Amino acid sequence: MRILTGIQPSGKLHWGNYFGAMKSMFDLQEKGENFMFIANYHAMTTVRDGKALREATREVALDYLACGLDPEKTIMYRQSDVPEVQELAWYLSCLTPMGLLERCHSYKDKMAHGFEATHGLFAYPVLMAADILIMNADLVPVGKDQKQHLEVTRDLAQKFNNAYGEIFKLPDAYIPETVATIPGTDGQKMSKSYHNTIELFDVSAKKKVMGIQTDSTPMEEPKEPEGNSVYELYKLFATPEEVAQMAANFRAGGYGYGSAKKELLNAYHRLFDPFKEKRDQLAKDPKSLEDILQDGAKKARWSAAKTMEKVRKAVGI
C-alpha cells in the first residue's frame, strides 16, 4: 500500500496540523510505502515572500523529523523538486469542469475570509490531484477540511481513465474520526487563516492556552465537557483515564476552566518537550537536512517519471 500526504509551508505548524494529518502519517509508517511532500507550490497562493517561503519549507521539514517522521520509512521531498507534478496538473486541468472547482468549499471559505481570488487558489484542487495521482497513492491522510479535495482527485482520476484508459488508481482518504475537527483558541476550526492556532513549538503556548475562549459559567457550577474547546483539545494529549477524570470534574462542579487549561498545558509539554529537544539538535545540521530532502526528491522523481511515461503516451505527447 502506498500512502501519501502533504503539508503547506505557509506558516508555522500548529496543533491542528499535528493531530489532523501528521500523527496519522507517523502511525501509518509501519503499514506501507510512505511519501510526504512539502507543498511549497501550494503555499504560493498565500505566501508572496521568497525568503519566507524557503525558511518555512525548512521549518516544516524540521518539525516533521522532530515529531516522528523516519526518513528510512518515509520519502520526504519538496513539491518543487518534482516538476513533473506541474505537467500532470495541466493535463488534468484540460479535463476539469469549472463547476467542479466552483463547488469546492475551501475556495469559497477563503474568499469569505478576505483572500484574493486568484487562479492558483481556485485551481488548488487540480494541483493537489496531480500531487496524489503522480505517486499512485492508495491512501491519503487528510484533515476533514480536505476531504472534498480528495473527492475531486478521485473524480479527475476517473475522468482521465475514461478518456485515455486505466492509468490512475482512485485513492482513498484516511481521516481518523477521533480528530476530525480540532478547535482553535476561538472555538472555530484551528487554522492559520483564522489566526487561532497554537504552534507546535510555541514560545507563547502558555499565553495562548490560558486565553482559549470559554463560556461564562461560574466555577462552582457543573459544566458539560463535550464541545468545550479546552476539553476537546485535552482529549488529544491525555490518556483515556485523564480525559475521564477531567470530564468528571467538569460535571461535578467546583472545577474551573483555568484549572482545565493548566492541565492541558501540562499535557502539551509532556508530549512536545522531547520533540523540541530533538528539533533543536536537527537544526544544528542543515546539510544533513538538505541531504534528506534531496534523497527524497530523487526517489520521488523516479516514481513520478514512471507515471508520466504512461500519461504522455496516453495523451499523445
**Together in a domain, 225 and 262:** yes
Q: In which band, very low, low, confident or very high, does the pLDDT at 72 lie, cut at 50, 70 and 90?
A: very high
- CB of 169 closer than 8 Å to CB of 136: yes
**Together in a domain, 103 and 218:** no
**Together in a domain, 265 and 304:** no
pTM of the model: 0.89
Closest CA relative to residue 304, chosen from 125, 42, 81, 1: 81
Q: In which band, very low, low, confident or very high, does the pLDDT at 181 lie, cut at 50, 70 and 90?
A: confident
Q: What is the CATH number of the domain that holds 157?
A: 3.40.50.620
For position 121, what pLDDT does the model report? 85
| Cα distances (Å, whole numbers) of residue 83 to 3, 56, 87, 301 | 20, 20, 7, 8
d(CA 215, CA 93): 47
**Together in a domain, 111 and 219:** no
Spell out a b/e string for 146-160, using b for 16 or more CB atoms within 10 Å of the CB, else e. bebbbebbbbbbebb
**Active-site residue identified among 108, 192, 287, 299:** 192
- CB of 186 closer than 8 Å to CB of 40: no
What does the block give as the cell for 194?
483564522
Would residue 191 count as lying in a domain? no
**Together in a domain, 142 and 218:** no
For position 112, what pLDDT does the model report? 76
Angle at which helix 124-133 crosses helix 105-112, to 10 degrees, equals 140
For position 277, what pLDDT does the model report? 97
DSSP 253: S
Would residue 22 count as lying in a domain? yes
Would residue 195 count as lying in a domain? no
Q: In which band, very low, low, confident or very high, does the pLDDT at 144 lie, cut at 50, 70 and 90?
A: low
For position 103, what pLDDT does the model report? 86
d(CA 194, CA 85): 29
**Active-site residue identified among 189, 208, 223, 235:** 189
pLDDT at residue 286 is higher than 70: yes
pLDDT at residue 111 is higher than 80: no
**Together in a domain, 155 and 74:** yes
If one counts the domains in the chain, the total is 2
Burial class (CB in 10 A: 0-12, 13-18, 19+), 100: middle
261 is catalytic: no
- State pLDDT tens for residues 147-172: 777 999 999 999 999 999 999 999 99
Would residue 290 count as lying in a domain? yes
Neighbouring residues of 292: CB distance < 8 A, sequence distance ≥ 6: 61, 65, 71, 76
**Together in a domain, 126 and 150:** yes
Would residue 241 count as lying in a domain? yes
110 is catalytic: yes
What does the block give as the cell for 281?
539538535
Q: In which band, very low, low, confident or very high, does the pLDDT at 179 lie, cut at 50, 70 and 90?
A: low
**Active-site residue identified among 12, 110, 262, 306:** 110
**Together in a domain, 222 and 240:** yes
Burial class (CB in 10 A: 0-12, 13-18, 19+), 65: buried
**Together in a domain, 43 and 155:** yes
Range of the domain at 210: 201-279
Closest CA relative to residue 19, chosen from 137, 190, 207: 190
For position 44, what pLDDT does the model report? 94
d(CA 158, CA 249): 51
d(CA 229, CA 224): 11
- CB of 201 closer than 8 Å to CB of 269: no
**Together in a domain, 257 and 161:** no
Would residue 61 count as lying in a domain? yes
pLDDT at residue 281 is higher than 90: yes
208 is catalytic: no
Going through the chain in order, the beta strands assigned E by DSSP cover 2-7, 33-38, 74-78, 139-141, 172-174
DSSP 75: E
Would residue 186 count as lying in a domain? no
Single-letter amino acid, residue 47: V
Please tell me whether residue 6 adopts helix, strand or coil conformation: strand
**Together in a domain, 91 and 160:** yes
Higher pLDDT, 31 or 301: 301
Q: What is the CATH number of the domain that holds 229?
A: 1.10.240.10
d(CA 148, CA 31): 25
For position 20, what pLDDT does the model report? 79
- CB of 66 closer than 8 Å to CB of 275: yes
**Together in a domain, 21 and 137:** yes
For position 208, what pLDDT does the model report? 97
State the average pLDDT over residues 20-47.
91
Would residue 185 count as lying in a domain? no
